[in-house]
Amino acid sequence: MTNLHDTWRLGDLTVNRLGLGAMRLTGMPWDEKPKSREDAITVLRRAIELGVNHIDTASFYFTPTRSANELIATALQPYPEDLVITTKVGAGRSRDGEFSFARPDRLRGQVEENIRQLGLDHLDVVNLRWGAAMGKEPGSVAEHFGALAELREAGLIRHLGISNVVADQLTEARSIAPVVCVQNRYGLTDREDDALLDLCGELGIAFVPFFAVTTSIPGAAPGAVGGEAEVAKVAAAHDATPAQIRLAWTLHRGAHVLAIPGTGDPGHLAENVAAGGLRLSEAELALLDGVGRG
């Protein structure tokens, strides 16, 4: 059985497998009012106390009154020595929330924006976020990933990853520079990338799902829903929440699978971290796997 408290290495950086996604720290566009700044700072500091040393963020995680990068910098500087901050470039957002995809010659500016907002002199891990806001898109990633590889050689980036891609795009990126992680949408009832997850394991590359829990909530993300009864049955056996069971299932998919659940709520943070300690039996895993493959 996989030890869910194991670590994984992103290049030469060691992270605990249960991390934190920063997107929800600022609140979401549909929220009626801004999220509490104090709660966000509490979540970040408490995450470190609970052993989280991997935070996923981006300069385009913002609302009109909140910026995830600014919250991270305010809450955690001076940064713990073992903290790994992963960021994304390629995608961008205007002040009115519209997404766009940057040309290769604009990526340096996005990298420097993240560096400036976080108060760093370089970025630990940068993912090239490919394609549309949600769906994958075909095409060559070579020009964009090559631009990031040049910034890595220049010392602005330590390690590179890639996000929202298919297997051929990962292969193309790896022909240009080392790839330490793939970040794609994936969860119990959103299993399109099963084969890519397995491929990453074979290659020794971290697979980092996003929306691993929210794909189960109608309207929260464009993923499949279902499996409520099966998840509830397993949750009851462990005195856990359905979200905890979905996170635990995700981590059971392989030692190279990292989790980055996002929250701006201190109580939800504690539940997410506790999910890393849940042990699902072979029978429970078979029951849940049947949901996703049905």
What is the tens place of the pLDDT at every residue in 262-289?
999 999 999 999 999 999 999 999 999 9
Q: Which two tokens stand for residue 62?
A: 């913002």
Q: Band of the pLDDT at 200, cuts 50, 70, 90?
A: very high
Per-residue pLDDT for 94 more than 80? no
Q: Band of the pLDDT at 214, cuts 50, 70, 90?
A: low
Q: Using only C-alpha atoms, what is the Rg of the chain?
A: 18
Q: Band of the pLDDT at 251, cuts 50, 70, 90?
A: very high
Residue-wise pLDDT for 6-46, tens only, equals: 899 999 999 999 999 999 999 876 677 778 999 999 999 99
Q: Band of the pLDDT at 132, cuts 50, 70, 90?
A: low
Rounded CA gap, 277 and 5, in Å? 7
- Average pLDDT of the segment spanning 104-117: 97
What 272-275 contacts at long range (C-beta under 8 Å, 24+ apart), as own/partner pairs, is 272/18, 272/20, 272/243, 272/244, 272/247, 273/18, 273/47, 273/50, 273/51, 273/52, 274/240, 274/244, 275/18, 275/240, 275/243, 275/244, 275/245, 275/247, 275/248, 275/251
Rounded CA gap, 46 and 50, in Å? 6
Per-residue pLDDT for 204 more than 90? yes
Rounded CA gap, 281 and 127, in Å? 34
In whole angstroms, how far apart are CA 177 and each of 13, 110, 152, 185? 17, 19, 9, 23
Q: Band of the pLDDT at 4, cuts 50, 70, 90?
A: very low
Residue-wise pLDDT for 139-182, tens only, equals: 999 999 999 999 999 999 999 999 999 999 999 999 999 999 99
| pTM flag (> 0.85) | yes
Catalytic residues, which ones?
Answer: 61
